[in-house]
Amino acid sequence: MKIEGIELRRVTMPLKTPFRTSFGVEHSRDVLLVRVVTPYAEGWAECVAMNEPRYNSEYVDGAADVLRRFLVPALPDDVDARTVGRLLAPFKGHRMAKAALEAALLDAQTRAGGESFGAFLGAVQDRVPSGVSVGISDSVGELLDVVEEFLAQGYLRIKLKIEPGWDVAPVRAVRERFGDDLLLQVDANAAYTLADAHHLRRLDDFGLLLIEQPLADDDLVQHADLARRIATPVCLDESIDSAEHAAAAISLGSCSVVNIKPGRVGGYLEARRIHDLCRAHGVAVWCGGMLETGIGRAANLALAALPGFTLPGDTSASDRYYATDLTAPFVLSDGHLTVPSGPGIGVDPLPDVLEDVTSSTEWIAR
């Protein structure tokens, strides 16, 4: 596939409501979009790096810089998208930037071949169950109102963000209010230490699906220790950057569930490798979210339609985060979202919306 040029486009996407986690509050997303132009098709992808390096070491300005200076120049003029990971391997880290470049090339290549992204990855479902992530609220009462609204919309699973001082009480309140049948899990974003194991064991009383990333992202050994001390299944997110990390975590007993985020692991092909590995070892996986626009959401839905994704993911409807999405909105139906079936990721940016939210563009000719 011959590359004629690559566009780096920055867009500003205000969130409908602030989203608070243990590492900060997001009011809007400064999104880096990557557009690959070939003689036969264009490909779009979304870099999920945040404004600041709090979730991980990457941030959107850094992603744009490494793409401009190193990753894009490393590609030959004629490239097979499936070789991008190997071509970019000499550059350490920067997985979110690499993932965006690879995804844009995969989108262009599958569009040119008339194949859907889901079919290319091996999807077996035409729709996927949808869960929703609920940020830290100012009060338990406010939290209960938010959860009630999401359940009324049809979401099949609720994930509560937690941190020290906001964990047992809100979880108890949600469980008591909405009953034992609610699929409920929590996400700590590495806010605890192993010294909190006794406290975290109190969450065992609430029948949670899992506790996500309770400890530091770089400590698989202590996660294995925690997993032996609590009954709630431990799920890893930030700790899993690759299939190798997933294999180590499984071998150590650090987790029994893995949250697969394509941007975090370096792309959809690596995400598929992690899916295959976990499925072979009987480890459940689900597709996490990074407040994606419709561009990133479409590709995530294709991934979440693979057979090993047995738990509802964070693939929420467009209106969970945005009043107006970059693409035609994804709408919840019976608790599910439809996997796009058109060529490539199956969606395109809406030109008028894209123009309104664009803050800058940069064209890199080949």
Closest CA to 122 of 256, 13, 241, 269: 269
Strand pairing partners for 46?
33
Counting beta carbons within 10 angstroms of the beta carbon of residue 73, is it exposed (0 to 12), middle (13 to 18) or buried (19 or more)? exposed
List the structure tokens of 358: 């664009």
- Indicate if 98 belongs to the active site: no
107, 10, 26, 106: which is closest to 346 by C-alpha? 107
Active-site residue, from 2, 92, 159, 261 = 261
Q: What is d(CA 298, CA 260) in angstroms, rounded to the nearest whole number?
A: 15
- Are residues 223 and 196 in contact, defined by beta-carbon separation less than 8 angstroms? no
How far is CA 10 from its chain centroid? 19
Catalytic residue among 2, 92, 98, 161: 161
| Alpha-carbon distances of 310 from 265, 282, 339, 344, rounded to whole Å | 19, 11, 16, 24
Quick check: is 159 catalytic? no
Catalytic center residues: 161, 261
